[in-house]
Structures are given as structure tokens and as C-alpha cells.
Structure 1
Amino acid sequence: MDDTTDVTDGVDEPGWDVDPDDEIAPAVEMAGAQLKAWREGAGKRVVEFGLLIGYSEDLIRKIERGARIPRPEYLDKADSALNAEGRISAMKKVMAEARYPKKIRELAKLEAQAVERSAYGSHNLHGLLQTEEYARALIGTRRPAHSPDEVERGVAARVARQSLFERSPAPELSFIQEEVTLRRPIGGRMVLRRQLERLLEVAQLRNVEIQVMPTAANGHAGMDGAIEVLKFGDGTAVGRCEGEFNGRPVSDPKQLRIIELRYGIIRGQALTPRESMAFIEQVLGET
């Protein structure tokens, strides 16, 4: 549930390296084998094919042996060059899921099942609220520094998770953000301005509530750090609180009660949703 961990757009790097021990490795290998079969079936040598679609021979060989996950644009170009009539482009959905880090795939599965989500953030804006450029800048602050490839995988995964806002039926989403997360200029002033505008946009959704905890608040129940709770349709839930249970996810009802109690108190201590929107607009005007 960590939204801080989860840029190579150059011609020679349209993909992500595959961890051989990852469960998605067989699917990537199969896709690579299919791409190779399509290329050979069309009578194209690797060098010739590379010139045709604008990618290096080394990159094509990596993809075809399953060592690299192809990006959507690579699959589209291959589909067009090999006259595959959409059958290669159809791999994009599976490859899009494969490119995300394992823990992000697991989180996305939980989010897809959740009917309610509550999150309090003390240092960063929640990943579901972040713009792509803000997410890229934020992930880039990590130390030890991520490689450009790792940064892009993290950004892609974070943006993809935001399809949650388009789900039907829509889950109930509650976010409480510390004031500092609205003011820290991650990525620079313009990136922050667009991020604040995004918050105001998301807050208009009927299933979303965004609240702000002002720095001037004289103490509150979230001083121990971030909190997150996901509830599911069968009545079960999973939660995490940095200040309880060693910060690990818990599902025991007694432990969840403590986390939910704390979140409920924070929610009552924060600005109301209406007050929070006015506060964000004020910060935007000052930025």
C-alpha cells in the first residue's frame, strides 16, 4: 500500500526488463515467442524488421526471448509492419498488466475488489490522486535512486490504478491529506498547480471525499503516520497503520477496529469536504 514506491522513452528502449522469478515471466516469454513467429512468418530478418519499425536489433531480440516487456507502441508498430490485423496489438492488455511491479499488481487486484477505501496521507499525496508528472517527480525523489526504467514502471502502474475512478459500481473513496502535501512543490510550481487542479477535479466525483488536515491543527489522531483501509463486498477488510502492528497490513477484526477508530477520529478533526475544497482553491491561488 506504499504510494511512494510504488525515463526511457527513446527509440531503443520501448519496454521494461523482466524478473525471471516473477510470475508474469512465462506470459512475457510466450508473447515474445509469438512476436518472433509473426516476424519469421512474414520473412523478415531481425535487422530488416528493426529498420522497418524503428527499433534496434538488440531490443527486438530481448523482446522475442522474453527478457523485455514490449510497450504498447512497439506492439502497434509490429502489428502494422507484419499485417497482423490487430492480433499483435491485442497483446497490449496482457503486457500492460505484466509491466507493473509485482506488489503493485497485487494492490491493484485488491483495489478492484474493494467497495470502500479510506486513506490518510501525512507526507505524500495518495497515489490515486497524483497526476502523471507529479508521480514521476515524486518517485524520482527516492533514495537510493531508481533507474529510469524503474521510475517509468512505477509511474505507469500508478496511473493505471486510477481507472478505479471509472469503475461501475463506483467504490466509496475517502482521502485525508496533510496540508504540507498540498504545498510541497514536488516537480516545481507548475507541476504542483496542475496537481492541485486535479484534486479539485476528482473531488467533484460523487463517490469521492477529499479532506485536508491543516498544519495549524493542535494535534490529531494521525500523528503516527499514514493509514489505509480497504473494505470488500463480503464484509471483510484489510488495513494498515504506520503507528500500529509494525506497519504491516492486518485483517483481524480487533486490529481493524483500532485502525478504523483512528481514521474516524482524524476524519472528524480535519476540515469538512466543502471547507477542504475552499482550502485547496486558496492554496492553488497562492501557488
Structure 2
Amino acid sequence: MPSRRVITGRSQEPRRRFAEELRLLRAERGESLRQLAETLGWDASLFGKLESGATLGSPEVAQALDQHYGTGGLVLTLWELAVGDPAQFKERYRRYMALEAEAISLWHYGGSTIHGLLQTPHYARELLAEGSLKSEELDQQVEARIGRRKVLEGDDASPFRVILSEAVLRNSLRVLQNWREQLQYLLEVAERPNITLYVLTHGTGLHGLMDTPVTFLRLPDGHTVAYTENIVRGELVEETSRVEGLQRRYDAVRDLALSPAESRMFILRTLEDVPCEPSI
């Protein structure tokens, strides 16, 4: 196994560190990108993007590189750190992302879109593309968003309670197969013991969160913060009285929603109503 490299000021950022390490490992082997691609079975352009920092790839690619270079898990560890690095996100989200990673429980109300922790890559890409991101930045943002889902995975995953407005489930993606995959993913995660999903159907009347998507994070010290967001900006709410006011509104909305079992059936019926696109 290669000796541990000195971490310079340039390589302290996880994403840059990952790309730098891959360049150095390949240089030590004296391999070209084409030779690496022929050995591992992925396209050479992928490894070029990994080494430039344009993409992070998948855990399967990182594992294959670990095995190829004999680094005993180093590459995969660097990949995990890069995927989970809050610095990948736009500045206004960074503190929220850091707190989200620490949270011991989360709960959310979504009135227009699916929460990032429950999005498929196709959903995240179509949503983030509305922000006019350049192709490379869009790839990075999608990878970073999907990487956040590890908060909800594993034996010690944080509990997550989600209320989705029916409007969220009626606003489909442009490609119907991608939308089917998103609905199927919601059904899958709803079966996890740490995730409770509610649907707030049309006709329940006006409520206190109609124009306020909000996520609550309970932190290890027992303190709870809230994050509200609209298309223009997001706000991290830490003042206790304001958080408690939002929580009361959230509880009132939950009382109006379908039960978790009824909500799963509602999502299943919504999925069944999505037409299958004909094969070409």
C-alpha cells in the first residue's frame, strides 16, 4: 500500500484531495487513462473527469480503483468524504448541510417538491437544472444531493418524518419512466423503519405551512433548528420561539394528513395511474 501523502493546503478539500490522489496513483503506475479504462472496463473519459474533479463517480468505481491500486480502502474512504462534503453545496446551504449530517432526527413538510434526501438522481437533475447551472456544476450538485441520502441509511440511521402535499405527487417529471422510478423509490423508503411518510391530500383546507416548505433538525445537544425555503432563498431558523411556532404549524398539518398506511396506498395508486411509455 502506498505511503500516506502529506496533506497540503491545496488538498485539504475532500473533492480536490480525491482527484489529486487518483492522479498520483495512476502516475505512480505509469498508466494512461486509456490503459486504466481497458483494465477496469469503464470509459477513459470517466477517469479523466474523476482526476479533474468534474465528477465523483460511483462507489463501485471507487472500489474498483481501490482493488486496482491495492490501496486497502483509501480510495473509497476519500470518495465517501468527498460525497459528504458540505462544501459541494451552494454557500447558503452549507451550514444547513453540516447540521443535517449531525441531526439525530429530522421532520419535513413539502408543498411543491420532494425533499432532497428522498430524490432519485433523475428528479434531482431535472429540479436542479431549473437553476441554469452549467453542465459540470449540475453534475456535481446532483452527486452531492444523492450523497446526502446516507444520513437515512444503515442500522443507526436518523428517523425522518415527511409530509408531502398531494401537489408534489401530481407534478411529474418530463420523462414518465423517471417519474415512475421516483414514485417507486418513495414507496421503497416508506417501508424503512426510520422513515414515516404522510400525504396531505387536496381538499383538507387552508393551513399554516401552505407557502412554507420546512425541515426540522433535532441536534445531539437536544436543540432543534428549522430550515425554510422558497425559490429565491432559504433561511436557517435557530431562535427557539420561532422554531416552536413552526413546529406547532407542522403538528397541525400532520393531523390533517393521511395515515402512513393510507399514504403508501395513495402513492401506489398515483404510480399505477402513470402510463408506461411505449418501448421504441
With the length of structure 1 as denominator, give the TM-score of the two structures.
0.73
Equivalent of 1:198, from 185, 200, 224? Answer: 185
1:139 maps to amino acid? L
User: What does residue 10 of structure 1 align with?
Assistant: none
1:10-47, CA deviations, whole angstroms, 9 ceiling, x for partnerless residues?
xxxxxxxxxxxx997655555566555545544x3xxx
Q: How far apart in 2 are the matches of 1:75 and 1:160?
A: 14
Alpha carbons of 1:167 and 1:232: their partners in 2 closer, same or farther (altered >3 Å)? farther
Equivalent of 2:36, from 53, 57, 62? Answer: 53
CA drift at 1:152: 1.6
1:79-106, CA deviations, whole angstroms, 9 ceiling, x for partnerless residues?
677x545476354334434583365665
User: What does residue 9 of structure 1 align with?
Assistant: none
Q: How far apart in 2 are the matches of 1:179 and 1:209?
A: 16
**In the alignment, is the contact (CA less than 8 A) between 2:54 and 2:140 conserved in 1?**
no
User: What does residue 125 of structure 1 align with?
Assistant: 114
**1:171-182 aligned within 5 A:** 171-182=158-169
Q: How far apart in 1 are the matches of 2:171 and 2:100?
A: 27
* Structure 1 range deviating more: 130-139 or 26-35: 26-35
Asked if 1:101 is matched to 2:89, the reply is yes
1:236 maps to amino acid? H
Match of 1:271, SS? Answer: coil
1:128-171, CA deviations, whole angstroms, 9 ceiling, x for partnerless residues?
1112222222222x14x212222221221222111122243332
**In the alignment, is the contact (CA less than 8 A) between 2:108 and 2:216 conserved in 1?**
yes
Equivalent of 1:156, from 121, 136, 143? Answer: 143
2:211 maps to amino acid? D
1:116 maps to amino acid? S
With the length of structure 2 as denominator, give the TM-score of the two structures.
0.74
CA drift at 1:180: 1.4
CA drift at 1:179: 0.8
Match of 1:248, SS? Answer: strand
User: What does residue 274 of structure 1 align with?
Assistant: 261
User: What does residue 89 of structure 1 align with?
Assistant: 75
2:163 maps to amino acid? I
**1:24-39 aligned within 5 A:** 26=13, 34-35=21-22, 37-39=24-26
1:112 maps to amino acid? A
Equivalent of 1:251, from 218, 234, 238? Answer: 238
**In the alignment, is the contact (CA less than 8 A) between 2:66 and 2:75 conserved in 1?**
yes
User: What does residue 236 of structure 1 align with?
Assistant: 223
Count of paired positions: 253
Q: Among the aligned pairs, what percent are the same residue?
A: 27
Equivalent of 2:202, from 215, 239, 248? Answer: 215
2:120 maps to amino acid? T
**In the alignment, is the contact (CA less than 8 A) between 2:111 and 2:211 conserved in 1?**
no
Alpha carbons of 1:263 and 1:89: their partners in 2 closer, same or farther (altered >3 Å)? same
CA RMSD of aligned residues (A): 3.4
Match of 2:212, SS? Answer: coil
CA drift at 1:50: 3.2
Alpha carbons of 1:25 and 1:146: their partners in 2 closer, same or farther (altered >3 Å)? farther
Alpha carbons of 1:23 and 1:97: their partners in 2 closer, same or farther (altered >3 Å)? farther
CA drift at 1:263: 0.8
Q: How far apart in 2 are the matches of 1:215 and 1:138?
A: 23
